[in-house]
């Protein structure tokens, strides 16, 4: 059996919402309930797309919540403060990993207060760049009602450190024969071609999409640990090769004779 979920990252008040609305329209047409990673207090200049704070932003998030979208706390300010790779070791930049427990509690508490002020309920946490550590989980447990983490790379949802984990393995749609797979998109940088691929895939496979609340979670085992470490290693190797090939192509381009 195979089942799919989809997650959209980096919803914040300075987004180009037209890029998001085409996803929302697609999901509503097929009654798909995605996970939406909302930044409570965005300070990331890279996400300051439209400049001005959209005055209807929080109403939009409340509307998505009423449509039974799964709103997730996407960190606090989406600002990377160090190069700590956290539990998963996927990226060397973090808003949380490596910070003291009091510092992380302050961030989580501040983020939760914003959601509470705006009448947003969330039981899910999504760390920017997949980087967080055990202190992050302790802070979430102490300062919030969050009990689900959207992260990890194995093929099924699991239970670990007192949280329910929904793995996020793929950055674009891909047909699978078994397992539970989450497709992770960033609407701000999603090209028209990539969106058309999503649209066509959902048209063909919409009956295989499930909601996070439909999932069954299994205890995390030693076999899962090995499988996840292998997937992390394979992804790091792939990214290293891709980065170096790009660098070589760039050098070759500029070394060509005029």
pLDDT tens readout for residues 138-164: 999 999 999 999 999 999 999 999 999
Q: What does the pLDDT read at residue 53? A: 81
The residues facing 35 across adjacent strands are: 7, 70
Q: What does the pLDDT read at residue 123? A: 95
Q: What is the pLDDT of residues 205-242, one digit of tens each?
A: 999 999 999 999 999 999 999 999 998 888 888 777 86
Q: What does the pLDDT read at residue 247? A: 57
Q: What does the pLDDT read at residue 243? A: 61
With 90 as the cut, is the pLDDT of residue 256 above it?
A: no
How many CB atoms within 10 Å of residue 131?
27
List own/partner pairs for 100-106 with CB under 8 A and 24 or more apart.
100/135, 101/135, 101/138, 101/139, 104/135, 104/136, 104/138, 104/139, 105/139, 105/142, 105/143
**Pair (196, 230) in one structural domain:** no
Query: What CA dihedral angle connects 139, 143, 182 and 205, to 10 degrees?
Result: 170
Q: What does the pLDDT read at residue 135? A: 98
**Pair (171, 255) in one structural domain:** no
With 70 as the cut, is the pLDDT of residue 249 above it?
A: no
| Rounded mean pLDDT, 23-43 | 97
CA 100 to CA 104: how far, in whole Å? Answer: 6
**Pair (143, 162) in one structural domain:** yes
**Pair (78, 202) in one structural domain:** yes
Q: Of the ranges 31-35, 42-46, 51-55, 235-239, which is most confident?
A: 31-35
With a CB cutoff of 8 Å and minimum separation 6, the contacts of 241 are none
**Pair (212, 225) in one structural domain:** no
**Pair (95, 196) in one structural domain:** yes
Burial class (CB in 10 A: 0-12, 13-18, 19+), 217: middle
Q: What does the pLDDT read at residue 172? A: 96
**Pair (145, 253) in one structural domain:** no
The residues facing 242 across adjacent strands are: none
Q: What does the pLDDT read at residue 251? A: 54
Which range (45-54, 92-101, 226-235) has the least confidence?
Answer: 45-54
Q: How many domains does the chain have?
A: 2
**Pair (18, 97) in one structural domain:** yes
**Pair (67, 90) in one structural domain:** yes
Q: What does the pLDDT read at residue 220? A: 97
**Pair (198, 249) in one structural domain:** no
Q: What's this model's pTM, rounded to 2 decimal places?
A: 0.91
**Pair (138, 226) in one structural domain:** no
**Pair (137, 99) in one structural domain:** yes
With a CB cutoff of 8 Å and minimum separation 6, the contacts of 249 are none
Share of the chain above pLDDT 70, in %: 93
Note down the domain range covering 229: 221-258
Residue 196 three-state SS: helix
CA 97 to CA 89: how far, in whole Å? Answer: 10
CA 47 to CA 50: how far, in whole Å? Answer: 9
Which range (13-22, 34-43, 105-114, 135-144) has the least confidence?
Answer: 13-22
User: Rounded to the nearest 5 degrees, what angle is found at the Cα of 224, between the Cα atoms of 219 and 226?
Assistant: 150
């Amino acid at each position: 059996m195979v089942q799919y979920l989809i997650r959209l990252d980096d919803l914040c008040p300075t987004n180009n919402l037209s890029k998001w609305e085409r996803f929302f329209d697609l999901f509503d047409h097929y009654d798909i309930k995605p996970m939406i990673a909302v930044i409570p207090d965005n300070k990331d200049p890279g996400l300051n797309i439209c400049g001005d704070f959209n005055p209807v932003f929080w109403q939009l998030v409340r509307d998505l919540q009423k449509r039974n979208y799964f709103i997730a706390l996407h960190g606090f300010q989406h600002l990377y403060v160090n190069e700590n790779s956290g539990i998963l070791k996927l990226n060397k930049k973090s808003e949380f990993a490596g910070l003291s427990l009091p510092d992380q509690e302050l961030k989580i508490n501040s983020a939760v207060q914003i959601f509470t002020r705006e009448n947003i309920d969330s039981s899910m946490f999504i760390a920017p760049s997949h980087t967080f550590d055990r202190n992050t989980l302790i802070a979430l447990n102490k300062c919030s009602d969050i009990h689900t983490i959207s992260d990890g790379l194995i093929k099924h949802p699991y239970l670990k450190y007192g949280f329910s984990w929904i793995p996020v393995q793929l950055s674009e749609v891909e047909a699978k024969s078994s397992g539970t797979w989450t497709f992770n998109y960033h609407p701000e940088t999603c090209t028209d071609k990539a969106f058309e691929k999503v649209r066509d895939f959902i048209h063909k496979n919409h009956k295989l999409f499930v909601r996070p609340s439909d999932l069954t979670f299994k205890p995390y085992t030693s076999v899962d640990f090995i499988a996840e470490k292998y997937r992390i290693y394979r992804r790091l190797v792939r990214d290293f090769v891709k980065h170096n090939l790009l660098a070589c192509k760039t050098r070759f381009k500029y070394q060509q004779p005029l």
